[in-house]
Structure 1
């Protein structure tokens, strides 16, 4: 789509991550002049690759680190739609899009300290092997749940699926997931399962996260697994910047976007209820910028620090951003560069017993056209990319991740991985396989133990939906595009960031009275198959009655 016809209107975007790049993409194709100011020296925000600087030897590239591994579930609609509109030339010179660089991860693994790795099919079976694997996993899982607990879990899933939207927003938003699933009244195995599953969902905590968000996303993941043709788990087929962010940045610049790196927004100026400009420190030089419209695609804690009394007076609801900025936590990546292949499983692994809520993916198996010998000193052949989601739980060494120095942190993550994966004769990981370890440099060590996280994640908590703003503000030329904005996605992810950016662009189009086509906003967590149950629940909700998804079964 290209709707270019100059509006003579300029938009300044603060922040060049997925939200900022999405907003620039949509605006430039609708005739706006667009300038993006990105604080870092690499484009892409939290989605970017992070080269391990100085690791490349004899002309090779630096080893490709990540903020955390990428995960594109089947229900992602906004970000994948954008990816289909970013041109990409493959290694054979064929014209494609970066969407073609997504590959299916057909399996997932459940790793525990006292049991062998359990493998699950991550999507609807498409072969006899898939069916065999599903049957085997049913017998091998040994989750320790009673029949009653399995029935309870299924009934809670059914309740989420068949509840109406209004009940979710007004009722389930106020109920912690822990209480909804009745965890306190059931076994340790039941509690452990749901705690582990929730912790890996953008560092959410079962005791604090809202049932609306966790229930919606969890139900969607399960439904996608049993939907024919749905690719429930997808990953990129190369380093993130190589196969997604850099081609996107090149495309935006070719379209006319001015994307500026090393540019820090230090203040935003507001006079008489209107943004009049901003101060930028770019490559150490301070200057002022002005525009017709401004989009903040900054993280919530960064924007909250820039809010002025004039801005809060013009839009008092922005004060909620200061409260929302307290709902951030740590979830970040560590890569183990290995001298031997360690595929483990063809997909993501969830470490059920790991004190630090680890998840991982082995990258090289999904990079068939990437020669790993082109990186580092030529000895690395695989990358085990790990996300650390709980920084406050004592590990096997008795220390929390927060209390560890770098070496202790690395050793403890590796120890939890080995204890989860190595059982008897089945040895997936050995110490001598490690070539290099890389921790996201946004974890900055003030001294050997104390550290700060320069890029924390917004995590879901009960009742925070009311604190989250819309994309438009009552400041007529200020718009918000970040993962904390109210979206159908309802989760702080790159999908949520992309949707928020679309909403900000649509708000600008409305304000500018533009005739350009509005950005498409997709419905999320909606399944026509369950509409009749949801309609029934809507009628009950309107009458002040509780959910009763079983009553309607008598109709059939």
Structure 2
């Protein structure tokens, strides 16, 4: 029996373990902390038998998430599966401190009017028609571009530049900002046109697909609804779990990994090793010898991270807001949130914490560099207490007009991601998030890096969505498992990998562009854009 050591117990590592154990391999998962699930896990607030839970940030599952949902459907949970714990949202609130609220429907639309209404926030009435028309042209550019052009040309252009944001209306720029800040780790000024454009299209297309829910979330904290049942199921498959076992070194003989040294002095010896540690940890384990054998490993350190961390506010009343997410369009710290209790049908707050806690608002701060409203300092320069106060005040500034929805007397307690640790000059983040940046695709390694018995399974692995997410981590875990299964032969079917789906009507245009790209010719829309830019410049210069 092939013996596999999975180094890291996040979504990528657990997925690899699941796929391999399902096919009869012997798997042990080594995790640096005392909890499995990585950034997706819930964090108990106490040692009580039924504690309250906090999270690194709330979870959401858009329509194009296929890998992770299929895995969830294979995890038993009582008389059903973990996939049955997914609940469809209905609407997203776009709140502003200076303008009226807007509500975007996220339920699967039925008639054409419903489709148009669901897309209204992306092409809202406050955005000039010429800008809406231009954005549609840019999206068509993407939809008709071949994969090589996307990967080699559009990955080297920022989404901000691709949509000509600097020369568009303020309303257009604001719309782009909050349309992407609600996506995990996508920043329009930094992210590539390839990735942000592709994911933006997936979200829009997901709203028009009547066969899948547009967006879903879990009906309880992540660990209770997903991670804990997953661990129990993997144990029934024979997977062994080793918490508090961080790896400190990969021993390499020039061709194979011969052992993985743990912090306690133990050396793990296995037939195969799956490296599933976070992006900030992986470079510490990549030696010069490994880089010479697999140059892709040496480029991991070039990938960039950002701070996107969550906080939960426990309230004496259940303030439901919308039945879905909230996006705070002009908040200094780029906040998003969700009122959780209305969805947590299988999670009773009674007896888990303060008796008066009956509601939970979970928020994520995505901008830690911009001064806030209260202390006029960036989040990274504040204390944990100041961060909580600042986020609470920013929420109130957006939600309390015209009607007061959040009051100070409602606040019972709060829980900030423990990865945010206080220092002398503010805070440091011990769990940063991988972000997409221009040109970063070339720095993302494949799951199979060419070392005889080493594979990678984490969200920095090159996947179809190229996005720091549960979906990418799950796909990476499947790719790692498939590489191992291929090396060891056998008749076991490989784990399924799905491509991102786009309307088939654009395929002839992609084939045509494939020929143009091979000939070194620009995309037809690029020529149109160049002429339009030149004309605008002539007009502006008189």
TM-score past 0.5 threshold: yes
1:331 maps to which of 303, 308, 315: 308
How far apart, CA to CA, are the structure 1 residues paired with 2:501 and 2:434?
Answer: 21
Tell me the distance in 2 between the aligned counterparts of 1:25 and 1:500: 13
- What is the number of residues matched between the two proteins? 526
Where does residue 216 of structure 1 map in the other structure?
198
**Aligned match of 1:199:** 181
Say yes or no: does 1:486 pair with 2:462.
Answer: yes
Is there any run of 5+ residues in structure 2 with no aligned partner, and where? Answer: 528-542
Please say if 1:418 is aligned against 2:426.
no
Q: What's the counterpart of residue 29 of structure 1?
A: 22
CA shift at 1:496, angstroms? 0.2
Cα displacement string for residues 169-225 of structure 1 (whole angstroms, at most 9, x for unaligned residues): 121111111100001111222222212322332233222110000000001101111
Q: Distance in 1 between matches of 2:411 and 2:123?
A: 30
Q: 1:474 aligns with which of 447, 450, 464?
A: 450
Equivalent residue for 1:502? 478
Residue 33 of structure 1, CA deviation: 0.8
* Mean Cα deviation higher: 221-230 or 538-547: 538-547
Partner of 2:6: 13
- The reply to whether residue 39 of structure 1 matches residue 32 of structure 2 is yes
Please say if 1:443 is aligned against 2:420: yes
Relative to structure 2, which stretch is displaced further, 333-342 or 224-233? Answer: 224-233
Give how far 1:487 is off. 0.8
Aligned-residue RMSD, C-alpha: 2.2
Distance 1:546 1:309 in 2: 39
Shift of 1:26: 0.6
Distance 1:251 1:33 in 2: 15
Q: Quick check: 1:28–1:255 contact (8 Å CA) kept in 2?
A: yes
In the alignment, structure 1 residue 534 sits paired with structure 2 residue 471: no
The answer to whether the Cα contact below 8 Å between 1:119 and 1:133 also exists between their aligned partners in 2 is no
Output the CA distance in 2 between the equivalents of 1:147 and 1:546. Answer: 27
Query: CA distance change for structure 1 residues 459 and 550 in 2, over 3 Å: closer, same or farther?
Result: closer
Which residue, out of 289, 299, 311, partners 1:320?
Answer: 299
Q: What residue in structure 1 maps to residue 531 of structure 2?
A: none
Q: Deviations over 1:482-509 (max 9, x none)?
A: 1111111211111000001111111111
Retained in 2: the 8 A contact 1:199–1:205? Answer: yes
1:431 to 2:420 alignment: no
1:138/1:494 CA distance change after superposition, 3 Å: closer
SS of residue in 1 equivalent to 2:299: helix
Partner Cα separation in structure 1 for residue 120 and residue 431 of structure 2: 39
CA shift, 1:138, in A, is 5.2
CA distance in 1, matches of 2:319, 2:511: 49
The equivalent residue for 1:4 is none
User: Structure 2 vs 1, CA of residues 349 and 214 (structure 1 numbering), >3 Å: closer, same or farther?
Assistant: same
Deviation (angstroms), 1:230: 2.7
Output one character per residue of 1:257-312: Cα deviation in whole Å (capped at 9) or x when no partner: 0011111111111113211101113xxx4311100010000112101011222222
For the residue of structure 2 that corresponds to 1:532, the secondary structure is: helix
The whole-number CA distance in structure 2 between the counterparts of 1:491 and 1:28 is 26
Aligned-pair distance for 1:39? 1.0
User: Cα gap change, 1:111/1:133 in structure 2, threshold over 3 Å: closer, same or farther?
Assistant: farther
Contact kept, 8 Å, 1:116 with 1:421, in 2: the verdict is: no
Conservation of the 8 A alpha-carbon contact between 1:203 and 1:390? no
What is aligned with 1:403? Answer: 381
Query: Structure 1's 419 and 141: CA in aligned 2 closer, same or farther, altered over 3 A?
Result: farther
Q: Distance in 2 between matches of 1:264 and 1:373?
A: 36
Question: Structure 1, unaligned stretches of length 5 or more?
Answer: 1-7, 90-94, 552-556
State whether structure 2 residue 123 is matched by structure 1 residue 145: no
Structure 1 residue 544 and structure 2 residue 537: aligned? no
Q: How does 1:104-503 map to 2 (within 5 A)?
A: 104-126=88-110, 131=114, 134=117, 144-281=126-263, 285-324=264-303, 327-397=304-374, 398-424=376-402, 426-447=403-424, 449-503=425-479
Q: Contact 2:54–2:312 at 8 Å: present in 1 too?
A: yes
Partner SS state of residue 44, structure 2: strand
- Contact in 2 for aligned 1:11/1:293 (Cα 8 Å): yes
1:64 maps to which residue?
53
Cα distance change on mapping 1:300 and 1:479 into 2, 3 Å: same
In structure 1, C-alpha distance between the alignment counterparts of 2:116 and 2:387, rounded to whole Å: 35
- Cα deviations by residue, 1:434-455 (Å, 9 ceiling, x for unpaired): 11111010111124x4222111
TM-score under structure 1 length normalisation: 0.90
In 2, the alpha carbon distance for the partners of 1:360 and 1:311 equals 42
Task: Tell me, in whole angstroms, the C-alpha distance in 2 between the residues paired with 1:9 and 1:523.
Answer: 29
What per-residue deviation string (whole Å, max 9, x for no partner) do you get for residues 209-244 of structure 1?
100000000011011112223311100001111110
